[in-house]
Structure 1
């Protein structure tokens, strides 16, 4: 369970570092300083890109595009229920952006962890997990 949580935390950090409603994110920083800090901008952008490639490749291999859609739809339905019950409101744009960051990180975290979850639920290993 700790491994799954850590994979989600790293996904959250990756998405949050790229964009969030505060001024402390890569996109806002690039808008302010790319002319003065172009080499650092490119370096950090490549590091973020590598993180996304790792997460997206693993997610697409484990749950596929349809699985990503299903997880996102489940999160959207949960948010819809919370709005319907009056727990959340669409009037708070900052909260809505944080919910988007959270939703994206959950999709990526589940995608990276799915092989572990499936193995624990079914007792079956993926072919990549079996030692020769």
Structure 2
């Protein structure tokens, strides 16, 4: 359940920032940002904090190469689904949602990887510790 919650929070962060509907931060700032500059700045800073938390944890746990590798596995899985005829890519709006799911999966795995590694290996991760 922990991974699903982290994944859904990553998806919410990405979808709140941008999605193909009119209900997202980017579209709201384009339309109303100049009228509500202080609210736009506050919301942007809150989103930035969320991105920093997720990206920092993901980079620390699986690194840049791990992020690319997870994204490649997700991409290859989508390619297989497309080749089997399960997935159609002719709808641009659906493609954006698919991209959001793929990116949120990478961030969710990055935030959960230390827990998975500890469960599999029995070893705990130690962050930078000063001696």
TM-score class, shorter-chain normalisation, is: over 0.9
Q: Structure 1: how far apart are the matches of 2:4 and 2:118?
A: 16
Deviations 1:8-43 (A, max 9, x none): 111111011001111111011111101101110000
Q: Structure 2: how far apart are the matches of 1:80 and 1:99?
A: 12
CA shift, 1:56, in A, is 0.2
After the TM superposition, which segments of 4 or more aligned residues of structure 1 sit over 3 Å from their partners? none
Aligned to 1:87: 86
Aligned to 1:51: 50
Q: Structure 1: how far apart are the matches of 2:62 and 2:55?
A: 10
In the comparison of the two structures, how many residue pairs are matched?
127
CA shift, 1:89, in A, is 1.3
Aligned to 2:121: 122
Q: How does 1:17-96 map to 2 (within 5 A)?
A: 17-96=16-95
Aligned to 1:15: 14
CA shift, 1:100, in A, is 0.4
CA shift, 1:92, in A, is 0.9
Q: Structure 1: how far apart are the matches of 2:20 and 2:2?
A: 28
Contiguous gaps of at least 5 residues in structure 1 = none
Q: Give SS of 1:127's match.
A: coil
Q: Structure 1: how far apart are the matches of 2:75 and 2:43?
A: 31
CA shift, 1:127, in A, is 1.9
Q: CA RMSD in A?
A: 0.8
